[in-house]
Amino acid sequence: MKRERANSIGDPPCPASSSTSSPPRALLAAPAHAADWLEQAWSDAAVARTGTPAITLSASAVLLVLPEATLADAHAAGVSTPEAVRLFLGRYGQHCSAGLDLDRPHPHLRVQLFLQKPVALEDAGESTQGEILDALKSAKTKPLPRVERLFAVTDAPAEIFIDYAPQRHARCVRPGDAVS
């Protein structure tokens, strides 16, 4: 019976080797987009392909719209959903906000995560199609513009709690502060 051994970095066990020499080493490569998912998450190319992320801060929660493809890239890079949310907020969250101060830690911060994905207009839900039709009617342009890209957001958010700690600090100017 062969025993499995664990490797040194906490990955799943690998099969035992029958020889006493050092185990063979494998080079694992990930696509460049997986390695730098956070850097590319709000790039022009990513926005054109997957839609625009959005962060709304309130006193009690963060509303985060994240493209489904961005979260998939984070997962491909070995990052869990809560960790991806924490990293994304740390990188792109507005620090100077009266709603929620991201310059200080927030243990157990409530995040409502909405996922966004591209859909064909004819495949969009009835309410989404109705909203688009209403917007086109109110624009009162002839001929009607062609909808080339449509990104739909999930109706119900996933609720995630993260321990947020700022990765950077901003110097915020508040009303009444001396600025000179």
Q: Confidence class of residue 35 from pLDDT cuts 50, 70 and 90?
A: low
Residue with the bigger pLDDT between 111 and 179: it is 111
Residue with the bigger pLDDT between 49 and 169: it is 49
The kind and range of the H/E element at 110 are strand 106-118
Buried b (16+ CB within 10 A) or exposed e, 109-133: bebbbbbbeeeeeeebeeebeeeee
| Residue written as token pair 């009617």 | 137
**Span of 7-16, 21-30, 70-79 with lowest mean pLDDT:** 7-16
The pTM assigned to this predicted structure is 0.70
What pLDDT shows up at residue 78?
A: 94
Omega into 175 within 30° of 0, i.e. cis? no
